[in-house]
C-alpha cells in the first residue's frame, strides 16, 4: 500500500490501470484542445454560436480530464502528463466539423469502454465504479452531437437555416455540474 503524508493507507492501483488512466487523461486533454480548435474555426468563419458551443465543450472535456487526474491521485497513483497532439484546424464546412466531433466522441466512448473492460479484468472495482459516470456521459455526448449532425443533414444548403442553427447552438451554457 502507498502511504500518504499523514501515514494513512490508500487504495493501490496496478501499474497497468494507472497507465491506462493516464492515457485516458491525455485523450480527454486532447479532446479539450480539439474542441477549442473547432471553436477557433467557427470564430474565423463568423459562426459565433457554434464557436460558443465548442468552447463550452472544450471546458467540459477539460473537466473530464481533471476527473481522471483527481482519481489517479485519490487512489495513490502517479499522474503522468504526456504531450498533446496538434489538433486539426481547418474543415470544409460547419457540418464536417460536427461530423468529426461525433467521430471523436465515438472514439472516446470506445476508449472508455476498453478502460472499463480492463478494470473488470483486473478486478479493480474502484476504477470500474469511477468509470460508470463516463460510460453514461458518453451516451449523452454522442446523442447530443448526433442530433446536431442530423439537423445539418435536414438543412442541406439552406444558409438561413445555418444562421438559425448557429443562434440556437450559441444559447448553450455551462451545465450546473460544469459551473461547480
Per-residue b or e along 84-117, where b marks 16 or more CB atoms closer than 10 Å to that residue's CB: eeebeeebeebbebbbbbbebbeebbebbeebbe
Angle at 111 (CA atoms; ends 114, 28), nearest 5 degrees: 140
All cell numbers assigned to 163: 444562421
Q: What is the dihedral of CA 156, 158, 160, 166, to 10 degrees?
A: 20
pLDDT tens digits for 51-93?
Answer: 999 999 999 999 999 999 999 999 999 999 999 999 999 999 9
Confirm whether pTM is higher than 0.75. yes
Alpha-helix runs per DSSP H in the chain: 15-44, 48-74, 94-121, 125-155, 159-170, 176-179
Structural domain boundaries of the chain? 15-175
Q: Kindly state the greatest CA–CA separation across the chain.
A: 64
**180 residues of the chain, pLDDT tens digit each:** 444 444 445 668 999 999 999 999 999 999 999 999 999 999 999 999 999 999 999 999 999 999 999 999 999 999 999 999 999 999 999 999 999 999 999 999 999 999 999 999 999 999 999 999 999 999 999 999 999 999 999 999 889 999 999 999 999 998 755 544
Three-state secondary structure of 107-137: HHHHHHHHHHHHHHHCCCHHHHHHHHHHHHH
Three-state DSSP at 9 gives strand
Cα Rg of the chain (Å, integer): 18
**Of 89, 61, 76, nearest to 13 (Cα)?**
76
Q: What is the dihedral of CA 37, 167, 99, 69, to 10 degrees?
A: 50
Whole-angstrom CA distances from 120 to 48, 70, 127, 130, 177 are 43, 21, 9, 12, 28
> Is 72:78 a contact under the CB 8 Å cutoff?
yes
CATH of domain 15-175: 1.20.1260.10
> Is 145:102 a contact under the CB 8 Å cutoff?
yes
Amino acid at each position: 500500500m502507498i502511504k500518504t503524508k499523514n501515514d494513512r493507507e490508500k487504495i493501490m492501483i496496478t501499474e497497468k490501470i494507472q497507465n491506462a488512466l493516464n492515457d485516458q487523461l491525455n485523450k480527454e486533454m486532447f479532446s479539450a484542445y480539439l474542441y477549442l480548435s473547432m471553436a477557433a474555426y467557427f470564430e474565423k468563419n463568423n459562426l459565433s454560436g457554434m464557436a460558443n458551443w465548442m468552447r463550452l465543450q472544450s471546458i467540459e472535456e477539460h473537466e473530464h480530464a481533471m476527473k481522471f487526474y483527481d482519481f489517479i491521485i485519490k487512489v495513490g497513483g502517479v499522474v503522468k502528463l504526456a504531450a498533446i497532439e496538434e489538433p486539426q484546424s481547418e474543415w470544409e464546412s460547419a457540418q464536417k466539423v460536427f461530423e468529426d466531433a461525433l467521430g471523436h466522441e465515438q472514439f472516446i466512448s470506445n476508449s472508455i469502454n476498453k478502460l472499463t473492460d480492463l478494470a473488470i479484468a483486473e478486478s479493480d472495482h474502484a476504477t470500474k465504479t469511477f468509470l460508470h459516470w463516463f460510460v453514461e456521459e458518453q451516451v449523452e455526448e454522442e446523442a447530443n452531437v448526433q442530433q446536431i449532425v442530423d439537423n445539418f443533414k435536414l438543412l442541406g444548403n439552406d444558409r438561413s437555416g445555418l444562421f438559425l442553427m448557429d443562434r440556437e447552438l450559441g444559447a448553450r451554457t455551462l451545465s450546473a455540474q460544469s459551473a461547480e
